[in-house]
Structure formats: C-alpha cells, structure tokens
Amino acid sequence: MRRVIEGSHAVAEAVRLARVQVTSAYPITPQTHIVEILSEYCEKGALKARFLRMESEHSCLAALIGAQLMGVRTFTATSSQGLAYMHELLHWAAGARLPIVMAEVNRALAPGWNIWTDQTDSLSQRDTGWIQLYCEDGQEVLDSTLLAFRLAETVNLPVMVVLDAFYLSHTYEPVDIPTEEEADRFLPPYAPRFRMDTAEPCSFGALVPPGDYMEMRHDMALAMEDALMQLVEIEGEFTRIFGRRHGPIEAIDCNDAEIILVTSGTITSTARLVVRTLRERGEKIGLLKIRLFRPFPTAILRETIGRAKKVAVIDRNCSFGAGGIFAQELRAALCNLDPRPLIYGYIAGLGGRDVTPEVIEEIYRRTQSTDRPEAEGVWIGLREAL
C-alpha cells in the first residue's frame, strides 16, 4: 500500500513490520519522530514491544545489548551527539555479535550547535564493526530497515540504517508499505544462535586472552566481509517478494563515463537530475551511489568505476586533516589498480547546507577543467568573506 509518509515514519513502519520485541529511546532531534511513532505503536498494540525510555543514549544501547542477549529482536534510533555517546557500546554490540538494528539520522556534531544533516557522526563510527547502509529516499529507508534485521541476524553483526536529517527524516514522500504477511514472509522470527538462559547460567563477553582474541576479531572481519554477499543474496529474495532492489551500490551511466560523480544519501537524487541534464548535452558523465559503506564494496567499485578517467566524490562530512571520508575510502579501494582514475574529493553541504544542482555542476566542471586534483578535499560553496 502506497502512502505519503515521512522518512522517520518509514523507519517506524519497517520496525513494526519486523515485529521488534524491545526498543529503547532517548530523544534527540531529528531522530525523535521515529521513536515517537514507535511509542504510539507500542501504546496501541500495533507493535507488541517493550518500549524502554532510557536516561541516555549510552543506556539505550546498553539496554538493547542486554535484551538482544536474551534472544529478542531489538531496535533503537539516534543522531549526532547521541551516537557519539553510544560509542563505547557500539564496539561492544558488534564484538558481542549482537544483531541489533539502529536508525541513525545524520546530524552535524556540536559545537556550533546544529541539528541539520551532516554525515560525520555516523562515519566517525566506521570502525566499530557495524554494517552501515546510507539511504536516498523514503522507500529505501523502509526497505533498508526491514532488510537490516535479516542481514544482521544472518551475519551476527549490528546494522546502522543511515538517513539524512530533514531532507529525508522530515520529508513526506510516497512509500510502498508492505503488508504484514509479505514482511513475515521475508523476515522470519528471530532465531538467536546464542542467548542467555537462567537455566544454564553463563556470562558473555568475558575475559579473552591474547591466544584467542585475534581469532575472535578475525571471525568478526570475516563476517563483515561476508555481509556484502549476504546482502546481495538477501536482496534477491527481497526483490522476489517486493519487486524492488537497491543494491550495495547503484551505477548510472558509468559504462562510458569519463567523469563519475560519487554520492551517498539524498545528494544522489539531485545528482541524478544533473547527470540526466548533462548527458542530454552530450557530456560523458556518470553517477555512482554508495549505499553500503560497511563493509566497503571494494571489488564492485573497482569493477564499476575503475575504467573512468576521473572520479569526483561529494562528501557531506569531513575527517579533519584527511578530507572527505568517502573520498578516502575510494582512494584506498582503487589505489592498487593500474591504470586507475584520478580521485577528486569535494566537501559540500555540511551542517545541512543545500547541495543544489548548481553546486553539483560546479563540482563536475572543476573536475573536468583541472588535470589533477587541486587538493585532497576541496571545499565547495564557501562564502567568500565572513
């Protein structure tokens, strides 16, 4: 059934369809709409979950770690400082191999205080062992969230479904909402591979000496690598039921492109328009959207954009001293290719600043007109004098 709903509500619908059993919440703009809807669902009985109002995001995740260990499906949502506050437990959840699903609404980190979109919050958690999916529109938010539970439970790693603040979280779009029967067909009840049981007392996550720790971590690394193939397989099943596929990446007009734009999140939609317009004028431009950031789909990327001359990466984030984070990752992914495209890194749209078609076209033109990147990260759209 197609309904016009907010991106936040798309998350909540997916959580409802996933029949989550425990959800924890601590309010933070722009995530709050998600847990508000969930609290209503829990109140009305549309979602038969225990809704935990916690005193902090740190406790939110701690509570879910405990709940998930008891063998139930769990969910929480947060943003920005809230995610930063969870940091220690992000590592813990992944290391404990708990398939927790979280919606992360990208929001700039303070100071200066800013509630608008910026990817630095989620990207600075890239090494915590969480699978990360970046969404472009409301439909993808719903689909990714539903899929996240299946993926997480398959590889026993937590999944972060990432969506842009306001451009996605607070924007109403038509979204096809599956029926409960369809959702149940895709996502069976959670069958934990291990759980706490008071009948057989044991502790999880206890001391691991050097003789075993590396093997444990290697196992995690293997599971993370496996997640890419699992995603493809699970999405195959998803497509059979729902008729939609988003893929780990999406390539548009990349086959013959000389310059390929690389985007993530809602900037992709704007870039699609720019690419279509420039293609009509005969420009050899392509667009690559990265949806799966962890695990980073290195092999697929090499195959898809390795033959282009130039790749222009638009980062709505910044790793200070190293430029945009998607650009870094792409450089690393392609550096052992020979020949390989030049990587142009652009930083745009921080703290919710609009990335318009004009901004994207400027990026394209600059890439086209320079033989070599001007810098590792070029800031686009800065005001000239403050």
- Smallest gap from Cβ 215 to another protein, in A, equals 6
Find the shortest distance in angstroms from Cβ 92 to another protein. 12
Q: 191: how many CB neighbours lie within 10 A of its CB?
A: 8
Report the residue number, 222 or 382, with the smaller CB distance to another protein: 222
DSSP letters along 28-42, please?
-TTTHHHHHHHHHHH
CB closer to another protein out of 1 and 207: 207
Residues 97/98/101/106 CA torsion (nearest 10 deg): -50
Q: Tell me the β-bridge partners of 259.
A: 285, 310
Shortest distance (Å) from residue 214 CB to another protein: 10
CB of 53 to another protein, least distance (A): 13
Tokens of 240: 């059979």
Please give the Cα distance from 114 to 108 (Å, whole number): 6
Amino acid at 4: V
Q: To the nearest whole angstrom, how small is the minimum distance from the Cβ of residue 42 to another protein?
A: 23
Cis previous bond, 27, omega within 30: no
Q: Of 1 and 206, which CB lies nearer to another protein in the complex structure?
A: 206
Q: Is the Cα torsion angle 188, 194, 195, 200 positive or negative in sign?
A: positive
* Residue closer to another protein (CB basis): 180 or 233: 233
What sign does the dihedral 296-302-304-308 (CA atoms) show?
A: positive
In whole angstroms, the minimum distance from the beta carbon of 219 to another protein comes to 4
Residue 187's nearest CA partner among 158, 153, 163, 159 is: 153
CB atoms within 10 A of CB 203: 7
CA distances (Å), 348 to each of 263, 276, 345, 352, 377, in order? 11, 21, 10, 9, 10
- 222 versus 332: smaller Cβ distance to another protein: 222
Select 229 or 375, whichever has its Cβ closest to another protein: 229
Q: How far apart are CB 69 and another protein at their closest, in Å?
A: 11
Q: Tell me how far, at minimum, the Cβ of 333 lies from another protein, in Å.
A: 18
**Degrees (nearest 5) of the Cα angle 63, 77, 125?**
90
Of the pair 43, 212, the CB lying nearest another protein is at: 212
User: Measured from the CB atom, is 203 or 369 closer to another protein?
Assistant: 203
Q: Which is nearer to another protein, 180 or 212 (CB)?
A: 212
Q: How far apart are CA 41 and CA 18, in angstroms?
A: 13
- Tokens 């004009």, residue located: 358
Would residue 247 be called left, alpha or beta, if left means φ above 0 and alpha means ψ between -120 and 50 degrees? left
Q: How far is the CB of 185 from another protein (least distance, A)?
A: 22
User: Please, which residue, 220 or 342, has the CB nearer to another protein?
Assistant: 220
25 and 54 in contact (C-beta within 8 Å)? yes
Q: In the structure encoding, which two tokens stand for residue 71, read together?
A: 């063998």
Q: Which residues bind another protein (CB under 8 A)?
A: 96-97, 154-156, 193-194, 200-208, 212, 215-216, 219, 222-223, 225-226, 229
Instruction: Give the whole-angstrom CA distance, residue 244 versus residue 139.
Output: 10
CB of 217 to another protein, least distance (A): 9
